[in-house]
Amino acid sequence: MGLFGNDSAPEIADLRMRVSQLEERVEQLAQLLDAPEPPRDTRMDEVLRLTQAGRQIEAIKALRELQPGLGLAEAKALVDAM
């Protein structure tokens, strides 16, 4: 069972493609409007660094601090996917 129920690889691939297309469209709109770059949340860099260092438990804790409503299983799934 995946993060959103019974996820399958093709469904996840489709969702990733759709998100990529949306990100592309948003970038195009931002360029047309000459919008400034959005501020980057550097706190996620720490979660990624911990994950890459093999410190999953600490990464899960850090992620849950950033997103207090996130459950343990969801946080673990997100860290595992990084």
- Please write the tens of the pLDDT for every residue from 35-78: 888 787 788 899 999 999 999 999 999 999 998 888 999 999 98
The C-alpha atoms of residue 54 and residue 48 are separated, in whole angstroms, by 10
Q: CA 9 → CA 17, 42, 68, 73, 77, distances in Å?
A: 12, 30, 28, 19, 15
Is pTM, for the whole model, over 0.85?
Answer: no
- Token output for 33: 């409007």
